[in-house]
Amino acid sequence: MQQYNHPTSWKLPTKPVSIAPLITFRILFGGLMMVGAVRFMLSGWVERLYVEPRFFFKFYGFEWVEPLGQTGMYVLYSLIAISAAMVMFGLFYRMAAVIFFLSFTYSELIDLTNYLNHYYLVCLLAFLMIFLPAHRRFSLDTWRRPELSVTHVPSWVIQILMLQVGLVYFFAGYAKLNPDWLFRAMPLAVWLPAKAHWPLLGPLFEQPWLAYAFSWAGALYDLTIPCWLLWRPSRPFAYLAVVVFHLLTKLLFNIGLFPFIMIFNTLIFFPAAFHERLLGRIGYRTDNEQVLYKFPTAGSQLLRPALIFYFSFQLLFPLRYLFYPGEVLWTEQGYRFSWRVMLVEKTGQATFFVHDPTTGHSAEVENRRYLTAYQEKQMAIQPDLILQYAHFLEREYRREYGLESVKITVDCFVALNGRASRRFIDPEAGLTQLKDGFRNKGWILPNEEMGLSDSSRLTVTSQ
């Protein structure tokens, strides 16, 4: 009988490999994050996203995170840019990596309406970089202290970055295996015709078959590209596909830094010799004497269980939507943090009503009094944001009008992926009596037009 080994007894792959891929990753990651932070400040987004709003939507469990005011937010983003530059150059690397992770993550936790998948990916990569010896060669730290320099690291150091990038692609592809994407070519069938004004290619974007071709090719690409990058014969062609795919999505949909993040990240799949040649163009030199980095004894004992926990979470958390009834594209329960990239064209309109049970009077809320246009757009299609806003309105009306008891209801309609607008939230639900959490939100109305029925999913206790 084969002996069972407990997961924490599994050994990490420790074969010595060149540190060069990790150096490339450090330089490109830090440089891109520095440029992104500077661009964020110069574009006026600090004021638009963190100064102008009157109310900020919170991530569950992080309600304590608050904006720092105009000056404070510029200080925070300056800190992000400076720490990213220090990571890039490998200067006081550990401290810089910690500061970058904490400052960037804090900025992204301030307002949930700013959530994007690539911001989440940056947080994860920044967290991993804290613990990796990416500064142990070709850095200002080794220039200051030559005794820190090493030539090789255990192979798992490179492989965990490959795994993290591979998981993003896999779950992005897995999420595309839904009826809307495969059999209705949605939302590409809506988005591509909007580019019909392009010269030369414009008429092509109006062809219905192109949306289907892009949809199926996109799903196949996401599901298989990590494998093609791992296989040496196909790697150059796979990387060409990476570049073409992400530049095309950048041109078509203007999705920020995400294409460049993935173009740079996927270089980690290339062998050490490639990175040594690449770095050689900026002064990197190989060393005939092999010096292997060894993790501190105390830390090495925690490595296996920590990595098992981390990647178990990365594997399981995106699947939590299976425990909720309804279609995740409609209910949004389990939607975030699961690499669902560009899957919906969703618009909504939410009209809130404040009721005074004592007098029986009701009043319609003017959302623009409290929310920016962007916040209102995001709130109207996400149930937990609708609930947060209702609780905010309760506090505001109690404070402003001295009401002892307030009931908040919403008349909300949402249109998803080319379908007609449908009622989204139970209009009779007293939202101020409900609490946010991981339980099913029974006050979200079902959408019978979606491809999967409620009975096809597992359920958790409803509220």
Residues 55-68 have a mean pLDDT of 97
Q: Within 13 Å, how many C-alpha atoms sit on residue 238's CB side?
A: 21
pLDDT digits over 5-25, tens only?
A: 555 556 788 899 999 999 999
Which residue has better confidence, 55 or 200?
Answer: 55
The amino acid sitting at 352 is F
Residue 80 pLDDT exceeds 90: yes
CA separation for the pair 159, 38 (Å, rounded): 31
Tally of residues, the chain = 463
Residues 171-179 have a mean pLDDT of 97
pLDDT at 429: 95
CA separation for the pair 390, 398 (Å, rounded): 12
Annotate 195-214 with DSSP letters as a single string.
GTTSTTTHHHHT-HHHHHHH
pLDDT digits over 353-404, tens only?
A: 999 888 889 999 999 999 999 999 999 999 999 999 999 999 999 988 888 8
Q: How far is CA 71 from the centre of its chain?
A: 27
Residue 460 pLDDT exceeds 90: no
Residues 84-106 have a mean pLDDT of 98
| Dihedral, CA of residue 258, residue 231, residue 272 and residue 137, to nearest 10 | 40
Residues 272-292 have a mean pLDDT of 93
pLDDT at 451: 54
pLDDT at 10: 65
pLDDT digits over 423-432, tens only?
A: 999 999 999 9
pLDDT at 401: 82
pLDDT at 459: 35
Q: How far is CA 251 from the centre of its chain?
A: 20
Please tell me whether residue 354 adopts helix, strand or coil conformation. Answer: strand
Annotate 233-295 with DSSP letters as a single string.
GGHHHHHHHHHHHHHHHHHHH--TTHHHHHHHHGGGGS-HHHHHHHHHTTT----SS--B---
Please check whether residue 425 is in contact with residue 412, taking contact to mean a CB–CB distance below 8 angstroms: yes
**Among residues of the chain, what percentage have pLDDT more than 70?**
95
Please check whether residue 18 is in contact with residue 151, taking contact to mean a CB–CB distance below 8 angstroms: yes
pLDDT at 405: 86
Residue 292 pLDDT exceeds 80: yes
Residues 47-73 have a mean pLDDT of 97
pLDDT at 415: 97
pTM over 0.85: yes
pLDDT at 13: 86
Report strand pairing: 422-423 vs 407-416.
antiparallel
pLDDT digits over 256-265, tens only?
A: 889 999 999 9
Annotate 307-329 with DSSP letters as a single string.
HHHHHHHHHHGGGGGGGSSS-HH
Residues 50-54 have a mean pLDDT of 96
As a whole number, the mean pLDDT across the chain is 93
CA separation for the pair 236, 243 (Å, rounded): 11
pLDDT at 300: 73
| Dihedral, CA of residue 95, residue 32, residue 19 and residue 288, to nearest 10 | -110
pLDDT at 462: 34
Residue 455 pLDDT exceeds 50: no
Place 311 in a pLDDT band, splitting at 50, 70 and 90: very high
**Among residues of the chain, what percentage have pLDDT more than 90?**
85
Strands (E), 43-167: 152-154
Residue 454 pLDDT exceeds 70: no
Residue 346 pLDDT exceeds 50: yes
Residues 333-351 have a mean pLDDT of 96
